[in-house]
Amino acid sequence: MGTTARLKGFIILALLPTLLIYTFFVIVPIFWSAYYGFFDWSGMGDAKFTGLANYIEVIKDEIFWRSLKNNFIIIAASVFGQVPIALVLALLLMKNSFVNRFVRSAVFMPMVLSTVVVGLIWGYMYHPQIGVVNYVLKSLGLESLTRAWLSDPKINMFSVSIPIIWNYIGPYLIIFIAALQNIPSEINDAAKLEGAVGFKKLYYVTLPMIWNTVKVVIVLCIAGSLKAFDQVFVMTGGGPAQSTELLATYMYNNTFEVYRYGYGSAISTMIVIVSMILILISQILMKRKNQ
């Protein structure tokens, strides 16, 4: 009895600080913003209850839908950019040779860089006058292809996607390499005996063997690209004329630039809902295809 009471006391005391910090800073904010979405508050004075007004305004705002669409562009660019690149590289870099290790660490390196620095460097690289992108095009004689990469609303969403793709290939590459190295050597031997080589082997043997990993990576990729904010915020701030607005930059600009905390709370709640729906859908789709 004495020891169980002591154990109980220890467990409670050991878990308490973690639970307090975690609940207060991670969980409470979700409910807080859902609640304050019903109020109008400018940061000073009293908050005024306005019912569903903020939520309705968000849904009616064309910019909200554009931001959502832009988020989907980032997700699509990540899934169709990062996953194939990581997979092809993993097939080429599977063996642990010196050169392969070097290439792997080069591909992974952007992961440790500050996202602000990534945004700033790419911002310079896209610069119409001093940027390397236009410079290379000019020196290749492709003058007609040079443009203002970040300000032309027709292409700037794709321009901001490239640094994000570049930034996050690393972990997917490592996951794919681990999966490929885990394929039992008997299976490779059997494939060789059956005469499956090259693309045939890739399609009939290798891909099916790592298909579950591919699915996990796609789910991770969707969840990861939902978090995109820093690079785009630094490169364009959501502009020009809100053409590169993401849900997170839209939330930021509507809250901290114009001091509408109630409206910002409503957008935050929408971000949570959108994220949860997307994560749920991607999980369900992945499980269904499994059967």
Partner 1 sequence: METKTDHREVLIPRTSLVQNINVWKIGKSWISKIILILFAFAMLYPLYWLFVSALKTNQEFFENPYSLPIHWVFDNITRAWELAGMGKAMINSTIVTLAAMFLTLLLGTLTAYVLSRFEFRWKGPLMLFFTLGMLIPIHSTLVPLFMIMNKIGILDTYWSLILPYTAFELPIAIFLIAAFMSSIPKAIEEAAMIDGSGYWGIFFRIMLPLSFPVMSTVAILAFLRYWNEFAFALVFINDQALKTLPLVLTIFSDGFGTDYSLTMAAMAIAVLPTIIIYLFFQEQIMKGMVAGSVKE
Name the amino acid, one letter, at 114.
Answer: S
Name the amino acid, one letter, at 285.
Answer: L
Least Å distance between CB 50 and partner 1? 16
Least Å distance between CB 33 and partner 1? 4
Contact 68, 248 (CB under 8 A): no
> Is residue 265 a contact residue for partner 1 (CB under 8 A)?
yes
Least Å distance between CB 249 and partner 1? 9
Choice from 75, 107, 133, 232 touching partner 1 (CB under 8 A): 107
- How many of the chain's residues bind partner 1 (CB under 8 A)? 90
> Is residue 132 a contact residue for partner 1 (CB under 8 A)?
yes
Q: Give the N- to C-terminal CA distance of the chain in Å, as an integer.
A: 50
Least Å distance between CB 199 and partner 1? 14
| Exposed / middle / buried, residue 61 (Cβ in 10 Å: 0-12, 13-18, 19+) | middle
Binding mask 222-261 for partner 1 (x = CB under 8 A): -xx-xx-xx--xx------------xx--xx--xx----x
Beta strand ranges found along 29-152 (DSSP E): 39-40, 48-49
Name the amino acid, one letter, at 260.
Answer: R
CA distance linking residue 80 with residue 59, whole number of Å: 29
Q: What is the DSSP letter of 112?
A: G
Choice from 116, 145, 258, 284 touching partner 1 (CB under 8 A): 116
Least Å distance between CB 278 and partner 1? 10
Contact 59, 280 (CB under 8 A): no
Binding mask 186-225 for partner 1 (x = CB under 8 A): ---x--------------------------x---x--xx-
Q: What is the DSSP letter of 152?
A: -
Least Å distance between CB 153 and partner 1? 22
Q: Shortest CA distance to 73 belongs to which of 192, 11, 156?
A: 156
Choice from 5, 18, 154, 288 touching partner 1 (CB under 8 A): 18
Q: What part of residues 69-98 is at the interface with partner 1 (CB under 8 A)?
A: 89, 92-93, 95-96
CA distance linking residue 141 with residue 119, whole number of Å: 28
> Is residue 287 a contact residue for partner 1 (CB under 8 A)?
no
CA distance linking residue 148 with residue 156, whole number of Å: 8
Contact 101, 109 (CB under 8 A): no
Q: Shortest CA distance to 33 belongs to which of 279, 251, 220?
A: 251
> Is residue 25 a contact residue for partner 1 (CB under 8 A)?
yes
Least Å distance between CB 204 and partner 1? 21
> Is residue 130 a contact residue for partner 1 (CB under 8 A)?
yes
Q: What part of residues 145-174 is at the interface with partner 1 (CB under 8 A)?
A: 166, 170-171, 174
Which CB sits closer to partner 1, 8 or 48? 8
Provide the angle, in degrees to the nearest 10, between the axes of the packed helices 207-225 and 261-290: 170
> Is residue 185 a contact residue for partner 1 (CB under 8 A)?
yes
